[in-house]
Structures are given as C-alpha cells and as structure tokens.
C-alpha cells in the first residue's frame, strides 16, 4: 500500500467509527436498493477533524422520486433538490449527485460510470476539504471507503483551505465562495492557500452582486467562530471587506491611542474576539460598535460616533437582511455603548440609565463594554464598570419604579380623581410623575402622586405653551 492509500484507509476507519448507526443504516439501505450512499461536505470534514458535525449530509445517485419511495415519510424539498429523511428524531438530508450536465441525460448516449458521477459531484464543491466523500457504492463491501479526488485529506492535515480546481474560475462562477473562504478560515482556524487568497483579491468586487441574505448567512457563521478576527483580517486584506462594508475597511490605518502600534481596525478585531462566542448579538455589536468613527473623525477625536455608527450599522444590517429584531438590538447597543460609569453619578442617574437602556438589554451592553475594554488592551474587569454594574443591580433588586406601569397611580386614577380626560395632557402628567419617582422612589405612593399631579396640572394651566 502507498502512503496515500494508508492515509485514506485510516481516515475511512475513523469515520466508520464515528458515524452513528442511523447514518450507516441509511447507507446500507441505499446500497441494498442498488444505489450508492455517501457522507459528504461539512459533516465529513468535521468528523475527520474530530469535531462534532452539526448534521450528517448524504449524497447518492438515486433520484429524489426514488428516495421518496425507498424511505416512507421522506420529504422532497424541491427548492434545494434535497430529500429530508427523519430518523430517530433527527433530520438527514440526502441530495442526488449534481454534475455540470445534470439535466441532460439525453445528451449522453450511454449512462456514465457510477463513480464518475460521485467525482463530478465533489468537483462542483468549493474547497478540497469540503470535497471528499465517505460511504459505499452500489457494489461496495460493508466497510465504507473514503473518496478524495482533490487532496482534501492532505489539506485538512495541513490546515489549508484550497479551492477545488482553478480558484479564479470557481470564484467567477459563484462569488459567495470567497465569503465562505474567509468564514471557513475562521470557523476551522485554517489558512488560505496562496493561490486561493490571490484569486479572492482579484475577484473581490464580484461580491457586490450577491444578495444580502447569502452574505449575511456566512457573516453570521463567521461571527460564531472561536476567533472571527482570523476571517475578518483575511477579508480586509483581500479587499472583500471594502465591498461589504467600506466604513469598516476604512478603519485600517486610523490611529487610536489604545494598544501601541495598533489601529482602529485592530481594536475592532480584538473587541470581536473578546465578545462571547455564544452571544451573536454582542459579537455583531462588537464588530460594528465603532463603525461611525471614520466619518466623525475630527482632530483625532470621534465626536458622537455612536449615533453615526448606529445609523451605519442599521444600513448594513438591512442590506444583509438580518432579522429586524436582531438588527434593532445591535443598533441600540451601538447607540448606547459610550455610557459613563463614573462613581459621581447619582442613584437617580443610575435609574435613568436603566430606563434609557431597557432592563433586558443591560447585560448585553455590559458584555459589549467588557469586550470593548479588552479590545483596548485592558486586562481583567475595569473596577469602575464592576462598581457601576453593582449599583445597577442594587436598583433592580430594590425594584425601583422605572416605568409607567410601576407608578402607584395610573391614567384611570388621574381621570377619576383629578377630572383629567384621555389625551396628550394625561400622558405628559404621567411622564412627569415618572421623572419625579425615578429621582425619588419614596414619592411612589398614591397620595403623594395625586398631590404632585395637581401641582403639575396647575403649572400647565399657568404656562400657555404647555396647553
């Protein structure tokens, strides 16, 4: 046996040991029915890396209609050309081989060899590490073999991401592959093979033609990587970032008095890496928190960059088709990320802060500040931040009244007791009562509030501007 075939056999045995029984059963059923069944794509790659695959994707020569009849209950998802089979509560996607001439059987006088279709299916895949298959052909014995026509195993061992075939042509066919390259580099901690990187640099402008959804989906995966900076740095170097977000790309070279020798882009990258990987909203806010700095740069300062940044982030996230609720959260975090933690703040100011940010958003905002601090080179928690969080917590524990609903009187009380009617004036009175109660929670008692409301009303009638 050659070294290569030893490596293939070892890898095949490894996958065989890791593949769950359901997957092996599906493959056996396909083989018994005269077809091939292969684990392909990211799942195979992840198993070979010793990572738990998110799902097990299978490929076969059997046509979708055949699969549906072989596996009762299977659902053909036409849009993706995939048949979904449910087994022991899990969903397995089985995709019929796709080749360059898939719908043109009649152009081919005789059926091509089965093996050719498998290799053609692998050849249309993006990177060598994603272009391997493990499984059995129609006549293959029980064990399961690894098919690796493009040297994926070797690239996997070296931690290299390399386009299948001519990178220039492949990125021309589908520009998303370039975004996937930097995303997978981050997810897997891999390096881009130089020819692949050069082809991205040459074809980066094509990304402009992709739909926001497709870019956004890869972006989200990039941000979930252990160190997103690996992919983001590559995206900036290769010119992809300038196409996706010029404002972020322009952070390169803008100086910051944070970590010596590092610029604004370095600060952004450190901040993203420091944000918790399991908090996508905080990660995204970390990436975009200073996106308003470039346009507000004046004499070495960035006045009101948080407001400019919130607007920019909103634009970008709309373009990338982020779900509205997630985008709104990110935009709000960016808008508020410059909050002060000064010990001189009064308790009333702490309560106003809670009200302004919204109780449900506090934790994310603090996580963003911690990441921002780490991104600025500090180590450990900032004592001022810790103290401030303690004060916020104390207010929350004391259940300080922070919104209209917590007031000891409501609109009905004011209408029945003071003869007010529904309308803007009633709203103004309630707002003003809330201001008083936030400043002094001791006032939140029915009698005091009705007295206060009377005073407020009297002032309103005296002040013609308010009526």
Query: Any contact of residue 42 with Mg ion (CB under 5 A)?
Result: yes
Residue 424, exposed/middle/buried by CB under 10 A (0-12, 13-18, 19+)? exposed
Q: Which residue is nearest to ligand ATP (CB)?
A: 42
Residue 228 binds to ligand ATP (criterion: CB under 6 A): no
Asked if 292 interacts with Mg ion (CB under 5 A), we say no
CA-to-CA separations, 316 to 102, 235, 294, 363, 426, in angstroms, rounded: 37, 16, 15, 24, 39
Residue 118 near ligand ATP by CB under 6 A: no
| Partners of residue 75 on adjacent β-strands | 84
Tokens 């002094």 correspond to what residue?
Answer: 440
Choose the stretch contacting Mg ion; rule: CB under 5 A; options: 41-49, 89-97, 114-122, 380-388.
41-49
Alpha-carbon span 61 to 138, nearest angstrom: 9
Residue 279 site contact among Mg ion, ligand ATP, none (CB < 5 to 8 Å, cut-off depends on kind): none
- Shortest distance, CB of residue 134 to ligand ATP, whole angstroms? 13
Other CB atoms within 10 Å distance of the CB of residue 394: 12
CB of 54 to ligand ATP, least distance (A): 6
Q: Is the dihedral of CA 92, 97, 102, 106 positive or negative?
A: negative
Q: Which two tokens stand for residue 349?
A: 């100011």
Contact string (CB under 6 A) for ligand ATP, positions 55-94, x = contact: ----------------------------------------
- Return the residue of 126, 290, 306, 314 that touches ligand ATP, per CB under 6 A: 126
β-pairing, 133-136 vs 90-96, is unpaired
Is 160 in a helix, a strand, or coil? strand
Specify the length of the chain in residues: 467
Helices marked H in 278-422: 280-288, 293-296, 305-319, 324-336, 347-357, 362-375, 383-397, 411-418
Q: Which is nearer to Mg ion, 40 or 272 (CB)?
A: 40
By beta-carbon proximity to ligand ATP, the closer residue of 176 and 281 is: 176
Q: Kindly state the tokens that stand for 319.
A: 């373009």
We find the least distance from the C-beta atom of residue 221 to ligand ATP, in angstroms, to be 5
Q: Does 42 bind ligand ATP (CB under 6 A)?
A: yes
Site membership for ligand ATP, residue 161 (CB under 6 A): no
Cβ closest to Mg ion, residue 39 vs residue 438: 39
96 binds ligand ATP (CB under 6 A): no
Minimum gap (Å) between residue 42 Cβ and Mg ion? 4
Report if residue 54 touches ligand ATP, rule: CB under 6 A.
yes
- Position 231 contacts Mg ion (CB under 5 A): no
Total Cβ atoms within 10 A of residue 341:
18
The entry of ligand ATP, Mg ion, none that residue 174 binds, CB within 5 to 8 Å by partner kind: ligand ATP
Q: Which residue is nearest to Mg ion (CB)?
A: 42
31 vs 40, which CB is nearer to ligand ATP? 40
Rounded to the nearest whole angstrom, what is the least distance from the CB of residue 94 to Mg ion in the complex?
Answer: 14
Q: Residues 41, 228, 231, 280: which binds ligand ATP (CB under 6 A)?
A: 41
Q: What is the largest CA-CA distance in the chain?
A: 99
Is 125 a binding residue for ligand ATP by CB under 6 A? The answer is yes
Q: How far is CA 132 from the centre of its chain?
A: 27
The residue from 93, 102, 154, 174 that contacts ligand ATP (CB under 6 A) is 174
Q: Which helix (H) or strand (E) holds 424?
A: helix 424-439
In the list Mg ion, ligand ATP, none, the entry touching 177 (Cβ below 5 to 8 angstroms by class) is: ligand ATP
Query: Which residues does 94 contact at the CB level (< 8 Å), separation at least 6?
Result: 26, 37, 57, 58, 59, 60, 62, 67, 74, 82, 83, 84, 85
Instruction: Give the nearest distance from C-beta 238 to ligand ATP in angstroms.
Output: 17
Q: Of 59, 176, 234, 364, which lies in the binding site for ligand ATP, with binding defined by CB under 6 A? A: 176
Cα(171)–Cα(422) distance, integer angstroms: 62
389/380 Cα distance (integer angstroms): 15
Q: Choose which of 82, 96, 128, 130 interacts with ligand ATP (CB under 6 A).
A: 130
* Residue with smaller CB distance to Mg ion, 42 or 309: 42
Single residue of 35, 136, 162, 221 touching ligand ATP by CB under 6 A: 221
Told to check if 135 binds Mg ion by CB under 5 A, we report no
Q: Is the Cβ–Cβ distance between 190 and 160 less than 8 Å?
A: yes
Instruction: Give the whole-angstrom CA distance, residue 220 versus residue 78.
Output: 25
Q: What is the DSSP letter of 377?
A: T
CB 267 within 8 A of CB 256: yes
Residues that bind Mg ion (CB under 5 A): 42
Residues that bind ligand ATP (CB under 6 A): 41-42, 54, 125-126, 130, 174, 176-177, 180, 221
């Amino acid at each position: 046996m050659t070294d290569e075939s030893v490596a293939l056999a070892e890898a095949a045995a490894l996958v065989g040991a890791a593949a769950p029984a359901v997957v092996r059963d599906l493959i056996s059923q396909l083989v018994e029915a005269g077809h091939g069944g292969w684990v392909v794509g990211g799942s195979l790659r992840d198993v070979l890396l010793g990572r738990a695959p998110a799902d097990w994707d299978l490929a076969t020569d059997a046509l979708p209609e055949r699969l549906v009849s072989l596996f009762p209950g299977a659902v053909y998802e036409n849009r993706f050309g995939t048949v979904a089979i449910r087994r022991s509560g899990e969903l397995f996607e089985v995709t019929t081989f796709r080749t360059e001439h898939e719908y043109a059987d009649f152009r081919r006088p005789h059926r091509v060899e089965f093996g050719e279709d498998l290799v053609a299916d692998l050849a249309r895949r993006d990177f060598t590490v994603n272009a391997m298959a493990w499984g059995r052909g129609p006549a293959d014995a029980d064990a399961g073999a690894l098919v690796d026509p493009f040297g994926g195993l070797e690239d996997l061992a070296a931690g290299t991401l390399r386009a299948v075939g001519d990178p220039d042509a492949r990125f021309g066919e589908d520009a998303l592959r370039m975004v996937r390259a930097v995303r997978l580099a981050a997810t897997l901690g891999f390096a881009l093979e130089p020819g692949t990187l050069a082809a991205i640099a040459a074809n980066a402008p094509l990304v402009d033609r992709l739909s926001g959804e497709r870019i956004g989906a890869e972006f989200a995966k990039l941000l979930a990587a252990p160190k997103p900076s690996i992919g983001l740095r590559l995206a900036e170097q290769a010119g992809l970032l300038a196409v996706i977000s010029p404002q972020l790309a322009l952070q390169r070279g803008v100086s910051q008095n944070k970590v010596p020798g590092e610029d604004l882009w370095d600060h952004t990258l450190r901040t993203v890496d420091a944000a918790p990987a399991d908090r996508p909203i905080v990660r995204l806010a970390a990436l975009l928190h200073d996106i308003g700095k470039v346009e507000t740069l004046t004499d070495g300062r960035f006045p009101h960059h948080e407001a400019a940044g919130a607007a920019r982030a909103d634009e970008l996230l709309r373009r990338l088709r982020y779900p509205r609720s997630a985008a709104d959260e990110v935009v709000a975090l960016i808008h508020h990320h410059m909050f002060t933690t000064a010990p001189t703040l009064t308790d009333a100011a702490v309560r106003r802060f809670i009200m302004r940010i919204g109780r449900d958003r506090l934790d994310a905002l603090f996580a963003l500040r911690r990441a921002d601090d780490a991104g600025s080179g500090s180590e450990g928690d900032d004592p001022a931040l810790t103290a401030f969080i303690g004060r916020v917590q104390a207010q929350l524990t004391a259940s300080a009244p922070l919104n209209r609903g917590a007031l000891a009187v409501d609109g009905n009380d004011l209408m029945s007791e003071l003869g007010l009617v529904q309308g803007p004036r009633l709203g103004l009175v309630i707002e003003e009562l809330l201001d008083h109660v936030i400043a002094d929670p001791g006032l939140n008692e029915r009698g005091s509030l009705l007295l206060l409301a009377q005073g407020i009303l009297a002032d309103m009638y005296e002040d013609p501007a308010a009526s």
